[in-house]
A and B are shown apart, each in its own frame.
Chain A
């Protein structure tokens, strides 16, 4: 009988823990605000080994949260991988998402955007001593690397250089390895992300951006569909960030070392 009691107790514990975790923290728990960011994009959103968060998206998120009345100590960052951004917003797990989130019509069908707060272009990162790539058509004879399934990778396959030898990896860091060793010739994605990598201490001076504008990516802040009040507040915060010089400062701080010519702050279109 002893055994039965134990197993019953175990089952009870298991169900309890399941129900406890099933309804995780909803945003607005107590007086904190939960914001979705990327954890693995240097320069945009990065969680450092000592548990700090750095990057341009993080700076924007912090500024907007401050304008909404949440100090830096009241912000809880949550990882928002590309595939999960819509669901995090829809389920209310995060108040809003600032994670190199390009505004497009498919996404607008399920979430609303504020912004845009940044205009990026798909570009190429090459070794600093490599001058053989001048335009997109040069890629057809080159080895290229990008992230599995990303828009940039699909652009290469469908439009830019269908003949290019495209290697896809789960993350940009794996591509950097191949680029350093000459196994691939170029890494392609949004120039903001590339600049973030080139600006990292261990990579400075090794790589450069080619400076092509292969696509327009308008980064917006994703939030729940129909929450007009929050959208207006975030847009107001973004306007203020631009006018008081914080936007420019954040760009310089995060992309400065990469010699990256960023676009001027875009006008807000999502109202």
Chain B
């Protein structure tokens, strides 16, 4: 039943390590992008507000598979953009991180925006009265409080992102679901075991993430 796990051809840990790397790099990228976007969405400049709103609504409502295949087929295969990568492996990985970050950033932005709404208006008004600029109000007063209140929703976004990395198999990034496809191709006599092993791997990744960040969210919440 599980004898395929002993086959040296299948590097299960290596594949999941790629999954973890994809998730971490994309999480970092999406956090930066989401913060930038939310700053634009609440800024007093109409052009910035308009751009960020359009971007968020466009990308958030595009299926991730299309975003990733678009990155690979349009940017790399057709326009020849390689993101300073040498071989397909590196380029594919970077394209996947780019696509995942661009997509997940929109969800981070919306989570943060709801966090900003939890910060009492008095806080921002007091900061303005002290003579702080918009940028200072946002970065010193509002965003730190907003971040603390949206750790739980951000954890959801991170868990969704971890599972979304499987879509990168569509552009040939050698992560867990690509390994699963290879196993399915060869181990047609134990399909359920193959699915089970990979699914269990993802549970091992996401469950602790959820528990840990849930605990952090409780600790960090602003007591009002």
The residues of A with any CB-CB pair to B shorter than 8 Å are 82-83, 85-87, 106-107, 109-110, 143, 148-151, 153-154, 158, 165-170, 174, 177-178, 181, 183-184
Contacts and interface: CB of A to CB of B under 8 A. Distances in A.
B88, B92, B187, B189: most-surrounded residue (chain A CB, <10 A): B88
Interface in B7-41: 9
Given A148-B169, A148-B172, A169-B170, A106 B88 contact: no
Given A148-B170, A166-B88, A169-B170, A83 B185 contact: yes
Contacts of A109: 188-189
Given A149-B178, A168-B169, A177-B78, 16 more contacts: A83-B185, A86-B191, A106-B188, A106-B189, A107-B189, A148-B178, A148-B181, A149-B179, A154-B9, A154-B182, A167-B172, A168-B172, A170-B69, A170-B171, A174-B77, A181-B80
Nearest to A107: B188
Interface string B76-99: 111010000001110010000000
B185 A151 contact: yes
Nearest to A86: B188
Contact of A106 (B170, B181, B187): B187
26 contacts: A83-B185, A83-B191, A86-B188, A86-B191, A106-B186, A106-B187, A109-B189, A148-B178, A149-B169, A149-B178, A149-B185, A153-B182, A154-B9, A165-B88, A166-B172, A167-B92, A168-B178, A169-B72, A169-B171, A169-B172, A170-B171, A177-B73, A178-B73, A181-B78, A183-B78, A184-B77
A45 B191 CA distance: 24
A158 B169 CA distance: 19
Q: Which of B92, B169, B181 has the most CB of A within 10 A?
A: B181
Chain B CB count within 10 A is highest, among A82, A150, A167, A174, for A167
Nearest to B82: A183
A150 to B, nearest CB: 6
B71 to A, nearest CB: 12
A208 to B, nearest CB: 20
B184 interface: yes
Interface of B: 9, 69, 72-73, 76-78, 80, 87-89, 92, 169-172, 178-182, 184-189, 191
Contacts of A165: 87-89
Contacts, number: 81
A184 B123 CA distance: 57
A154 B9 CA distance: 10
Most interface-central of B9, B80, B187, B188 (chain A CB within 10 A)? B188
A106 B76 CA distance: 37
A151 B181 CA distance: 10
Contacts of B87: 165
B39 to A, nearest CB: 36
Contacts of A148: 169-170, 172, 178, 181
Contacts of A151: 185-186
A103 to B, nearest CB: 11
Contacts of A82: 184-185
A120 B211 CA distance: 52
- 4 smallest A-B Cβ distances: which pairs? A149-B181, A168-B172, A167-B88, A178-B77
Contacts of A183: 76-78, 80
